[in-house]
Amino acid sequence: MQRATFLMFFFSLVFTCPFVSAEDTRISRLAKRLFSPAKTNIQRNGENPLRQNSRLRRNDGTSQRNNTRDTNGFVSLFNGKDLTGWSVKGGDAKYHVEDGCIVGVVNDRSRNTFLCSEKEYENFIFKAEFKYDNNFNSGIQFRSKSRPDGNREVVYGYQCEMEPAGMTGAVYDEARRGRWLNVVTDELVEKTKKPFKQGEWNELEIQCVGPSIRTWLNGQPVSDFFDTMTDRGFFGLQVHAAEQGQVRWRNIRIKELPATPWKPFFKNKQFVGLEIKPAGEWKFLEDGTVYATSTTDEKRDGMVLSKDVFDDFAVRISFKQGKGNSGLYFRAHEIDAAHWVCGFQCEIDSHLTAGLWEVGGGPSKGRGWVFQPTAENAKNFKPNEWNDVSTVAVQDRIVTNLNGTQVVDKDDPDCLKNGKTAIQLHGGSDMEYWFKNYEIMPLNKDMVDLITR
């Protein structure tokens, strides 16, 4: 009887203690905190989305079932038997299922082809293994969209590169900006070559948390940047236009994370969560655009200032410059001065736009230019047109973008750690600006932990 009891205890340990990596365990703990009811409401029809459509895997990585979740909360996007839940867009490459893998075969010399998930995703950790039977260029689209092109659809958006010659894990903006979103250096190229296993299975991991995009190749970090262009979209397995080539994918799985919604400061032609300082003039036009003006005899800055204080966040705005110098303040603190606040300003002024200027006073050191763009930045600015500028602040890291191009990526230990956001009209100047789409995405501690893991 004692022996039987011991055996029952032994086997219960074996079958309830799966062998997982320390990193997977840490991610699982972070995800559990994120999905805590105290943190966020993720119930849909009374069911946690992580309980839906997952699977068990055999030792060879193929699917046995499609209704269970693995020990770390990942859910399968591929049932191992057919292409249910996926559809082909773009060119004429062929996809089929073989030995529990999705196989992509080149069949189009001029058009890229994509096997796309029918469902869209926002924030997630995505993992997939891939192996080339015949080398060529491929990739995995994420947060992607499609647009009509005659009787076909063109897929566009973020692509995690798959390239045996190098750059696997770097991110390319397919059919949109048409360029690498990483800063391409010799170090980056080497970082993508070293972990790659020629002729063997490789694993890619893609993590999207709000503006943060990160990738890993076989557990080694590759990409780590911020971009606010697209928050949600489908996955797509690419077969690039080529003469020949064949690639296969398996163990395609995802762990969904809570959404990080944008909170608008302009809504229904009203200011939301903003205080208007008594200088300059701010008024809504019929289309919801804010028209802002000030004159040279007004020595105080014109300003609309958030009522709330933010720690880590992404903030963005669209503007059209008429006359004068403006700025997008962040981590700003109120002071008794004609410019109302101190702290960081994301500059808004022709080629200097998206540079970093620190205004002094209060707790701020007032360092002036922390990063001043060169004249080269003028090519990113659109005179007399709408421009999009964004700032992401996560701990000491500050990143700015102008019209989809990164201008600043700086770790600044001397920066203020929190504060308000504001739009400025420079005092003592003849000012005319148009603003729209002013909004902020707060990032809580659990999200920041994932972004910086």
pLDDT at 29: 59
- Pick out the chain residues at pLDDT < 50: 1-20, 37-67
Domain ranges of the chain: 21-257, 263-451
| Contact present, 55 and 64 (Cβ < 8 Å) | yes
Class of residue 436 by CB neighbours under 10 A (exposed 0-12, middle 13-18, buried 19+): middle
Q: Where do the DSSP E strands lie in 227-286?
A: 234-239, 246-257, 263-264, 266-267, 270-271, 274-276, 281-284
pLDDT at 33: 60
Same fold, 21-257 and 263-451: yes
pLDDT at 32: 56
Please tell me whether residue 448 adopts helix, strand or coil conformation. helix
pLDDT at 70: 77
Cα R_g (the chain), whole angstroms: 25
Please state which CATH class domain 263-451 belongs to: mainly beta
Q: How far apart are CA 375 and CA 37, in angstroms?
A: 49
- In eight-state DSSP terms, residue 375 is G
pLDDT at 323: 96
Q: Where do the DSSP E strands lie in 72-112?
A: 75-76, 86-90, 94-98, 101-105
Residue 321 makes CB contacts below 8 A (sequence gap 6+) with: 348, 349, 350, 383, 384, 387, 433
Q: Does domain 21-257 have CATH number 3.40.640.10?
A: no
pLDDT at 34: 60
Question: Which H or E run includes 313?
Answer: strand 313-323
